[in-house]
Amino acid sequence: MLYGKGHFYFSNCPGPVAHTESFAVYRRQHDNQLCLAAGYAHGVCEEEEYVLFPLHDLQRDDRRSIGTSIRAKVSVARGLTSELVAINPNVSVSGVKTGWQAKPTSRLASCKVYIRLTESIENPQMWLDAMMHVNHFSVIRGDTEGPACLFAVEHDKHHGYRILDASHMSIATLPSIPSNQPNSVGTVVDMLEHIAIFKFIEGIENKTPSAPFEASFEMALLNSKWEDRTNDGVLTLTHGDCLSLTVRNLGPKPLYLAVLDLCPSWKVINLVSLDGGGDYIVISPGEEECIDWSMIVPEWLQKKGLSQCEDVIKIFVTERPTSFAPLSLPEIPMTADAPGRHVRGQHNLLNGLLSQLSHAIRHAAEENDNWTTRNFIVHTFCPSNQEYLYEPATLPE
Protein backbone atom coordinates (compact mmCIF):
# COMPACT_ATOMS: atom_id res chain seq x y z
CA MET A 1 0.00 0.00 0.00
CA LEU A 2 1.40 3.42 -0.95
CA TYR A 3 0.42 6.14 1.48
CA GLY A 4 0.47 9.91 1.01
CA LYS A 5 1.15 10.29 -2.71
CA GLY A 6 0.33 6.70 -3.57
CA HIS A 7 -1.80 6.42 -6.73
CA PHE A 8 -4.50 3.89 -7.53
CA TYR A 9 -6.85 3.17 -10.38
CA PHE A 10 -10.30 2.80 -8.80
CA SER A 11 -11.67 1.21 -11.97
CA ASN A 12 -10.40 -1.85 -13.81
CA CYS A 13 -8.12 -2.70 -10.88
CA PRO A 14 -5.61 -5.43 -11.75
CA GLY A 15 -5.11 -8.73 -10.03
CA PRO A 16 -7.45 -11.42 -8.67
CA VAL A 17 -9.31 -10.89 -5.44
CA ALA A 18 -9.65 -13.92 -3.19
CA HIS A 19 -13.02 -14.45 -1.56
CA THR A 20 -12.54 -15.28 2.11
CA GLU A 21 -14.74 -18.15 3.29
CA SER A 22 -13.84 -18.12 6.98
CA PHE A 23 -13.42 -15.75 9.93
CA ALA A 24 -10.85 -15.79 12.71
CA VAL A 25 -11.83 -17.07 16.15
CA TYR A 26 -10.27 -15.78 19.37
CA ARG A 27 -10.61 -15.86 23.15
CA ARG A 28 -11.54 -12.54 24.79
CA GLN A 29 -8.87 -11.73 27.37
CA HIS A 30 -10.92 -10.49 30.30
CA ASP A 31 -13.37 -13.40 30.48
CA ASN A 32 -12.04 -16.06 28.03
CA GLN A 33 -15.32 -15.81 26.02
CA LEU A 34 -15.12 -17.49 22.60
CA CYS A 35 -15.55 -14.80 19.93
CA LEU A 36 -15.78 -14.38 16.17
CA ALA A 37 -13.73 -11.60 14.57
CA ALA A 38 -16.75 -10.39 12.61
CA GLY A 39 -20.04 -8.68 13.40
CA TYR A 40 -22.89 -6.68 11.88
CA ALA A 41 -20.47 -4.77 9.65
CA HIS A 42 -19.51 -8.09 8.03
CA GLY A 43 -23.11 -9.31 7.59
CA VAL A 44 -23.15 -11.54 10.71
CA CYS A 45 -26.24 -11.88 12.89
CA GLU A 46 -27.36 -13.88 15.90
CA GLU A 47 -28.24 -17.58 15.59
CA GLU A 48 -26.06 -18.09 12.51
CA GLU A 49 -24.16 -21.37 12.63
CA TYR A 50 -20.46 -22.03 12.04
CA VAL A 51 -18.08 -24.95 12.06
CA LEU A 52 -14.89 -24.21 14.02
CA PHE A 53 -11.58 -25.83 13.12
CA PRO A 54 -7.84 -25.26 13.64
CA LEU A 55 -6.01 -23.03 11.20
CA HIS A 56 -3.96 -25.90 9.78
CA ASP A 57 -7.21 -27.52 8.57
CA LEU A 58 -8.25 -24.44 6.58
CA GLN A 59 -7.35 -25.97 3.22
CA ARG A 60 -9.45 -29.08 3.79
CA ASP A 61 -12.35 -29.20 1.34
CA ASP A 62 -14.69 -31.44 3.36
CA ARG A 63 -15.22 -29.87 6.77
CA ARG A 64 -17.29 -32.84 7.92
CA SER A 65 -14.18 -35.01 7.80
CA ILE A 66 -12.27 -32.84 10.26
CA GLY A 67 -12.23 -34.69 13.55
CA THR A 68 -11.29 -31.57 15.54
CA SER A 69 -14.14 -29.42 14.24
CA ILE A 70 -16.90 -28.10 16.52
CA ARG A 71 -20.25 -26.63 15.53
CA ALA A 72 -21.14 -23.29 17.12
CA LYS A 73 -23.61 -20.47 16.69
CA VAL A 74 -23.61 -16.71 17.26
CA SER A 75 -25.18 -15.90 20.61
CA VAL A 76 -24.47 -12.16 20.61
CA ALA A 77 -23.64 -10.07 17.51
CA ARG A 78 -22.04 -6.64 17.76
CA GLY A 79 -20.65 -4.14 15.30
CA LEU A 80 -17.30 -5.79 14.60
CA THR A 81 -17.26 -8.93 16.75
CA SER A 82 -19.64 -11.66 17.92
CA GLU A 83 -19.83 -14.21 20.73
CA LEU A 84 -19.99 -17.93 19.97
CA VAL A 85 -21.50 -20.84 21.91
CA ALA A 86 -21.73 -24.54 21.11
CA ILE A 87 -24.90 -25.57 19.26
CA ASN A 88 -25.05 -28.75 21.34
CA PRO A 89 -25.01 -27.77 25.04
CA ASN A 90 -23.37 -31.13 25.83
CA VAL A 91 -20.35 -30.29 23.66
CA SER A 92 -17.57 -28.27 25.24
CA VAL A 93 -15.80 -25.47 23.33
CA SER A 94 -13.00 -25.26 25.90
CA GLY A 95 -10.57 -26.77 23.41
CA VAL A 96 -11.15 -24.02 20.84
CA LYS A 97 -8.24 -21.60 20.97
CA THR A 98 -7.34 -18.21 19.56
CA GLY A 99 -6.24 -18.73 15.97
CA TRP A 100 -8.94 -21.23 15.00
CA GLN A 101 -11.17 -20.46 12.01
CA ALA A 102 -14.96 -20.35 11.65
CA LYS A 103 -16.71 -21.31 8.41
CA PRO A 104 -20.42 -20.42 8.12
CA THR A 105 -22.86 -23.26 7.55
CA SER A 106 -26.03 -21.16 7.65
CA ARG A 107 -26.75 -17.51 7.07
CA LEU A 108 -30.07 -15.86 7.90
CA ALA A 109 -31.30 -13.47 5.26
CA SER A 110 -33.42 -10.64 6.67
CA CYS A 111 -33.04 -8.25 3.76
CA LYS A 112 -33.60 -9.26 0.16
CA VAL A 113 -33.30 -7.69 -3.25
CA TYR A 114 -36.54 -8.00 -5.23
CA ILE A 115 -36.26 -9.21 -8.82
CA ARG A 116 -39.08 -9.38 -11.36
CA LEU A 117 -39.47 -12.04 -14.03
CA THR A 118 -41.04 -10.20 -16.95
CA GLU A 119 -43.88 -11.70 -18.96
CA SER A 120 -41.38 -12.61 -21.68
CA ILE A 121 -40.14 -15.46 -19.42
CA GLU A 122 -42.07 -18.42 -20.78
CA ASN A 123 -41.48 -20.91 -17.95
CA PRO A 124 -41.34 -18.94 -14.69
CA GLN A 125 -41.70 -22.07 -12.56
CA MET A 126 -38.40 -23.38 -13.93
CA TRP A 127 -36.78 -20.14 -12.79
CA LEU A 128 -38.38 -20.33 -9.37
CA ASP A 129 -37.07 -23.89 -8.98
CA ALA A 130 -33.57 -22.75 -9.97
CA MET A 131 -33.73 -19.98 -7.35
CA MET A 132 -34.75 -22.18 -4.44
CA HIS A 133 -31.15 -22.35 -3.16
CA VAL A 134 -30.74 -18.58 -3.14
CA ASN A 135 -31.47 -16.54 -0.01
CA HIS A 136 -30.32 -13.20 -1.34
CA PHE A 137 -33.37 -12.13 -3.35
CA SER A 138 -37.08 -12.62 -3.74
CA VAL A 139 -38.82 -13.06 -7.09
CA ILE A 140 -41.95 -11.32 -8.38
CA ARG A 141 -43.65 -12.94 -11.40
CA GLY A 142 -44.85 -11.02 -14.43
CA ASP A 143 -47.23 -8.14 -13.66
CA THR A 144 -47.94 -9.38 -10.13
CA GLU A 145 -48.14 -6.50 -7.69
CA GLY A 146 -45.41 -6.34 -5.09
CA PRO A 147 -42.50 -4.29 -3.76
CA ALA A 148 -40.42 -2.20 -6.13
CA CYS A 149 -37.91 -4.43 -7.93
CA LEU A 150 -34.27 -3.44 -8.25
CA PHE A 151 -33.72 -5.73 -11.24
CA ALA A 152 -35.76 -7.63 -13.82
CA VAL A 153 -35.10 -10.53 -16.19
CA GLU A 154 -36.41 -10.65 -19.74
CA HIS A 155 -36.12 -13.06 -22.63
CA ASP A 156 -35.19 -11.27 -25.83
CA LYS A 157 -35.43 -13.44 -28.96
CA HIS A 158 -32.35 -11.75 -30.42
CA HIS A 159 -30.17 -11.34 -27.32
CA GLY A 160 -31.28 -14.20 -25.07
CA TYR A 161 -31.76 -13.61 -21.33
CA ARG A 162 -30.97 -10.11 -20.12
CA ILE A 163 -30.90 -8.53 -16.67
CA LEU A 164 -32.54 -5.09 -16.61
CA ASP A 165 -32.37 -2.28 -14.10
CA ALA A 166 -35.29 -0.87 -12.08
CA SER A 167 -36.38 1.17 -15.14
CA HIS A 168 -36.29 -1.99 -17.31
CA MET A 169 -33.26 -0.67 -19.19
CA SER A 170 -30.47 -3.01 -20.25
CA ILE A 171 -27.38 -3.00 -18.00
CA ALA A 172 -24.31 -2.50 -20.18
CA THR A 173 -21.95 -4.09 -17.65
CA LEU A 174 -23.77 -7.43 -17.65
CA PRO A 175 -23.67 -9.93 -20.54
CA SER A 176 -26.69 -11.38 -22.28
CA ILE A 177 -26.96 -15.16 -21.94
CA PRO A 178 -28.16 -17.14 -24.98
CA SER A 179 -31.26 -19.07 -24.00
CA ASN A 180 -30.02 -22.15 -25.88
CA GLN A 181 -26.79 -22.21 -23.90
CA PRO A 182 -26.50 -25.20 -21.50
CA ASN A 183 -27.64 -24.23 -17.99
CA SER A 184 -28.52 -20.73 -19.20
CA VAL A 185 -31.08 -20.24 -16.42
CA GLY A 186 -28.56 -21.29 -13.77
CA THR A 187 -26.01 -18.87 -15.19
CA VAL A 188 -28.44 -15.95 -14.97
CA VAL A 189 -29.42 -16.95 -11.43
CA ASP A 190 -25.73 -16.95 -10.48
CA MET A 191 -25.38 -13.42 -11.84
CA LEU A 192 -28.48 -12.28 -9.96
CA GLU A 193 -27.06 -13.74 -6.75
CA HIS A 194 -23.79 -11.91 -7.35
CA ILE A 195 -25.34 -8.50 -8.00
CA ALA A 196 -27.75 -8.90 -5.07
CA ILE A 197 -24.82 -9.40 -2.71
CA PHE A 198 -23.00 -6.51 -4.40
CA LYS A 199 -25.96 -4.27 -3.52
CA PHE A 200 -25.99 -5.63 0.05
CA ILE A 201 -22.36 -4.64 0.48
CA GLU A 202 -23.08 -1.20 -0.95
CA GLY A 203 -25.89 -0.77 1.60
CA ILE A 204 -23.97 -1.78 4.74
CA GLU A 205 -23.99 1.10 7.20
CA ASN A 206 -24.14 1.77 10.91
CA LYS A 207 -27.49 3.50 11.30
CA THR A 208 -26.81 4.39 14.93
CA PRO A 209 -23.13 5.41 15.12
CA SER A 210 -21.69 6.74 18.36
CA ALA A 211 -21.58 10.53 18.36
CA PRO A 212 -18.29 10.63 20.34
CA PHE A 213 -16.77 8.18 17.85
CA GLU A 214 -17.91 10.30 14.89
CA ALA A 215 -16.25 13.28 16.57
CA SER A 216 -12.99 11.38 17.03
CA PHE A 217 -11.85 11.85 13.43
CA GLU A 218 -11.98 14.26 10.51
CA MET A 219 -12.37 13.12 6.91
CA ALA A 220 -11.72 15.14 3.77
CA LEU A 221 -12.16 14.08 0.15
CA LEU A 222 -10.51 16.53 -2.27
CA ASN A 223 -10.55 16.66 -6.05
CA SER A 224 -7.72 17.70 -8.38
CA LYS A 225 -8.47 21.38 -7.70
CA TRP A 226 -8.25 20.78 -3.95
CA GLU A 227 -12.00 21.40 -3.61
CA ASP A 228 -13.54 19.63 -0.62
CA ARG A 229 -16.12 17.11 -1.89
CA THR A 230 -16.64 15.28 1.41
CA ASN A 231 -20.29 16.28 1.76
CA ASP A 232 -21.26 15.82 -1.89
CA GLY A 233 -22.15 12.12 -1.79
CA VAL A 234 -22.28 11.97 -5.61
CA LEU A 235 -19.26 13.16 -7.60
CA THR A 236 -18.93 13.72 -11.33
CA LEU A 237 -15.37 13.52 -12.66
CA THR A 238 -13.54 13.44 -15.97
CA HIS A 239 -11.48 10.42 -16.98
CA GLY A 240 -8.11 10.77 -15.24
CA ASP A 241 -9.20 13.21 -12.52
CA CYS A 242 -7.68 12.70 -9.07
CA LEU A 243 -9.28 12.29 -5.66
CA SER A 244 -7.47 12.48 -2.36
CA LEU A 245 -8.83 11.02 0.88
CA THR A 246 -7.42 12.21 4.21
CA VAL A 247 -8.50 10.90 7.61
CA ARG A 248 -7.15 12.54 10.77
CA ASN A 249 -7.42 10.88 14.18
CA LEU A 250 -8.54 13.42 16.80
CA GLY A 251 -9.04 10.89 19.60
CA PRO A 252 -6.84 9.12 22.14
CA LYS A 253 -7.03 5.65 20.52
CA PRO A 254 -5.81 4.26 17.19
CA LEU A 255 -8.34 4.18 14.36
CA TYR A 256 -8.46 1.73 11.48
CA LEU A 257 -9.33 2.68 7.91
CA ALA A 258 -10.49 0.38 5.09
CA VAL A 259 -11.47 1.53 1.61
CA LEU A 260 -13.52 -0.62 -0.77
CA ASP A 261 -14.11 -0.01 -4.45
CA LEU A 262 -17.39 -1.38 -5.82
CA CYS A 263 -16.36 -1.47 -9.47
CA PRO A 264 -18.39 -1.23 -12.70
CA SER A 265 -17.53 -4.89 -13.33
CA TRP A 266 -19.42 -5.87 -10.12
CA LYS A 267 -16.11 -6.59 -8.41
CA VAL A 268 -15.54 -5.49 -4.82
CA ILE A 269 -11.92 -4.74 -3.93
CA ASN A 270 -10.23 -3.68 -0.72
CA LEU A 271 -7.91 -0.93 -1.97
CA VAL A 272 -5.72 -1.13 1.12
CA SER A 273 -4.85 -4.74 0.25
CA LEU A 274 -4.00 -4.15 -3.41
CA ASP A 275 -0.44 -3.02 -2.84
CA GLY A 276 0.37 -5.32 0.06
CA GLY A 277 -0.94 -3.00 2.76
CA GLY A 278 -2.97 -5.58 4.68
CA ASP A 279 -6.66 -5.23 5.45
CA TYR A 280 -6.61 -1.72 6.92
CA ILE A 281 -4.55 1.40 7.60
CA VAL A 282 -3.72 2.19 11.22
CA ILE A 283 -4.13 5.89 12.10
CA SER A 284 -2.39 6.74 15.36
CA PRO A 285 -3.78 9.39 17.75
CA GLY A 286 -3.04 12.87 16.46
CA GLU A 287 -1.89 11.55 13.07
CA GLU A 288 -3.49 11.48 9.63
CA GLU A 289 -3.26 9.21 6.61
CA CYS A 290 -3.80 10.23 3.01
CA ILE A 291 -4.55 8.17 -0.09
CA ASP A 292 -4.89 9.67 -3.57
CA TRP A 293 -5.90 8.00 -6.81
CA SER A 294 -7.13 8.61 -10.34
CA MET A 295 -10.60 7.77 -11.59
CA ILE A 296 -10.80 6.26 -15.06
CA VAL A 297 -13.32 4.67 -17.40
CA PRO A 298 -11.95 1.11 -17.80
CA GLU A 299 -10.55 0.12 -21.17
CA TRP A 300 -13.04 -2.74 -21.54
CA LEU A 301 -15.95 -0.28 -21.28
CA GLN A 302 -14.39 2.14 -23.74
CA LYS A 303 -13.94 -0.70 -26.21
CA LYS A 304 -17.69 -1.34 -25.92
CA GLY A 305 -18.25 2.27 -27.02
CA LEU A 306 -19.16 3.48 -23.52
CA SER A 307 -17.73 6.75 -22.25
CA GLN A 308 -18.86 6.69 -18.61
CA CYS A 309 -19.04 4.42 -15.59
CA GLU A 310 -20.02 4.42 -11.93
CA ASP A 311 -17.94 3.34 -8.94
CA VAL A 312 -19.03 3.32 -5.32
CA ILE A 313 -16.21 4.12 -2.91
CA LYS A 314 -17.06 2.65 0.49
CA ILE A 315 -15.01 3.77 3.49
CA PHE A 316 -14.96 2.03 6.87
CA VAL A 317 -13.53 3.67 9.99
CA THR A 318 -13.37 1.37 13.02
CA GLU A 319 -12.09 1.51 16.58
CA ARG A 320 -10.59 -1.97 16.47
CA PRO A 321 -8.60 -3.79 13.77
CA THR A 322 -11.00 -5.81 11.62
CA SER A 323 -10.77 -7.50 8.25
CA PHE A 324 -13.29 -6.74 5.52
CA ALA A 325 -11.80 -9.38 3.22
CA PRO A 326 -15.10 -11.38 3.35
CA LEU A 327 -16.75 -8.48 1.52
CA SER A 328 -14.57 -8.91 -1.59
CA LEU A 329 -16.18 -10.25 -4.76
CA PRO A 330 -14.79 -11.25 -8.16
CA GLU A 331 -15.93 -9.51 -11.32
CA ILE A 332 -18.71 -10.79 -13.55
CA PRO A 333 -17.05 -11.63 -16.90
CA MET A 334 -18.64 -10.12 -19.99
CA THR A 335 -18.37 -13.35 -22.01
CA ALA A 336 -21.64 -15.25 -22.14
CA ASP A 337 -20.10 -18.64 -21.26
CA ALA A 338 -18.22 -17.42 -18.16
CA PRO A 339 -20.46 -15.49 -15.72
CA GLY A 340 -21.52 -18.42 -13.58
CA ARG A 341 -18.08 -19.92 -13.09
CA HIS A 342 -16.95 -17.74 -10.20
CA VAL A 343 -20.28 -17.08 -8.54
CA ARG A 344 -22.01 -20.20 -7.26
CA GLY A 345 -20.80 -21.24 -3.82
CA GLN A 346 -18.81 -18.04 -3.25
CA HIS A 347 -21.47 -16.09 -1.37
CA ASN A 348 -22.17 -18.26 1.66
CA LEU A 349 -20.66 -15.53 3.84
CA LEU A 350 -22.87 -12.68 2.76
CA ASN A 351 -26.63 -12.58 3.14
CA GLY A 352 -26.23 -8.87 3.94
CA LEU A 353 -28.38 -8.59 7.06
CA LEU A 354 -28.76 -4.86 6.65
CA SER A 355 -32.00 -4.35 8.53
CA GLN A 356 -30.27 -5.40 11.74
CA LEU A 357 -27.73 -2.57 11.48
CA SER A 358 -30.27 -0.19 13.00
CA HIS A 359 -30.40 -2.22 16.23
CA ALA A 360 -27.89 -2.29 19.08
CA ILE A 361 -24.42 -2.20 17.53
CA ARG A 362 -22.46 -1.86 20.71
CA HIS A 363 -22.69 -3.62 24.06
CA ALA A 364 -21.16 -2.43 27.32
CA ALA A 365 -18.88 -5.48 27.42
CA GLU A 366 -17.25 -4.37 24.16
CA GLU A 367 -16.46 -0.68 24.45
CA ASN A 368 -14.39 -0.50 21.29
CA ASP A 369 -16.86 -1.93 18.78
CA ASN A 370 -17.46 1.52 17.30
CA TRP A 371 -17.53 1.76 13.51
CA THR A 372 -18.94 3.94 10.78
CA THR A 373 -19.09 4.11 6.99
CA ARG A 374 -19.14 6.65 4.18
CA ASN A 375 -20.30 6.01 0.61
CA PHE A 376 -19.27 8.14 -2.37
CA ILE A 377 -20.87 7.49 -5.76
CA VAL A 378 -18.41 8.51 -8.46
CA HIS A 379 -19.55 9.06 -12.05
CA THR A 380 -16.55 9.17 -14.38
CA PHE A 381 -16.88 10.46 -17.95
CA CYS A 382 -14.40 10.04 -20.79
CA PRO A 383 -14.56 12.76 -23.48
CA SER A 384 -15.04 11.24 -26.91
CA ASN A 385 -11.78 12.72 -28.17
CA GLN A 386 -9.72 11.47 -25.22
CA GLU A 387 -7.57 8.40 -25.67
CA TYR A 388 -7.25 5.62 -23.12
CA LEU A 389 -5.49 6.86 -20.01
CA TYR A 390 -3.35 4.39 -18.13
CA GLU A 391 -1.09 6.77 -16.19
CA PRO A 392 -2.67 8.61 -13.23
CA ALA A 393 -2.82 12.35 -13.26
CA THR A 394 -0.72 14.14 -10.65
CA LEU A 395 -2.30 15.98 -7.79
CA PRO A 396 -1.28 19.64 -7.61
CA GLU A 397 1.43 20.34 -5.04
The continuous run of DSSP H or E covering 185 comes out as helix 184-203
**DSSP character string of 65-134:** G-TT-EEEEEEEE-SS-EEEEESSTTS--TT--TT-EEEEEE------EEEEE-TT-S-HHHHHHHTTT-
CA distance 381 to 370: 36
Mean pLDDT of the residues in the chain: 78
**DSSP character string of 3-55:** -SS---BSSS--S-------EEEEE-TTT--EEES--GGGT--TT-EEEEE-G
CA distance 223 to 93: 52
**With 50 as the cut, is the pLDDT of residue 164 above it?**
yes
Q: What is the pLDDT of residue 339?
A: 54
Q: What is the pLDDT of residue 308?
A: 92
Do residues 13 and 263 lie in contact, with contact meaning Cβ atoms separated by under 8 Å?
A: yes
Q: What is the pLDDT of residue 108?
A: 46
**With 70 as the cut, is the pLDDT of residue 344 above it?**
no
**With 50 as the cut, is the pLDDT of residue 62 above it?**
no
Q: What is the pLDDT of residues 298-317, one digit of tens each?
A: 999 998 889 999 999 999 99
Percentage with pLDDT > 70 across the chain: 76
Q: What is the pLDDT of residue 131?
A: 83
Do residues 178 and 172 lie in contact, with contact meaning Cβ atoms separated by under 8 Å?
A: no
Sorted by where each begins, the domain ranges of the chain are: 23-106
In our burial notation (b when 16+ CB lie closer than 10 A, e otherwise), range 187-201 reads bbbbbbbbbbbbbbb
Q: What is the pLDDT of residue 64?
A: 42
**Amino acid, single-letter form, for residue 363:** H
**DSSP character string of 204-265:** ---SS--HHHHTTEEEEEEETT--B-TTTSEEEEETT-EEEEEEEE-SSS-EEEEEEEE-TT
CA distance 362 to 213: 12
Q: What is the pLDDT of residues 275-297, one digit of tens each?
A: 667 889 999 999 999 887 888 99
Do residues 237 and 213 lie in contact, with contact meaning Cβ atoms separated by under 8 Å?
A: no
Strand partners, 115: 139, 151
Q: Which residue has the higher pLDDT, 8 or 55?
A: 55
Q: What is the pLDDT of residue 57?
A: 59
The model carries a pTM of 0.69
CA distance 251 to 283: 10
The CATH fold of domain 23-106: Thrombin, subunit H (2.40.10)
Do residues 191 and 174 lie in contact, with contact meaning Cβ atoms separated by under 8 Å?
A: yes
Q: What is the pLDDT of residue 106?
A: 57
CA distances from 355 to 45, 170, 275, 308, 352 (A): 10, 29, 34, 32, 9
Q: What is the pLDDT of residue 18?
A: 32
Q: What is the pLDDT of residues 115-127, one digit of tens each?
A: 899 999 988 888 8
For the ranges 71-85, 221-235, 255-269, the lowest mean pLDDT is seen at 221-235
Strand partners, 35: 26, 83
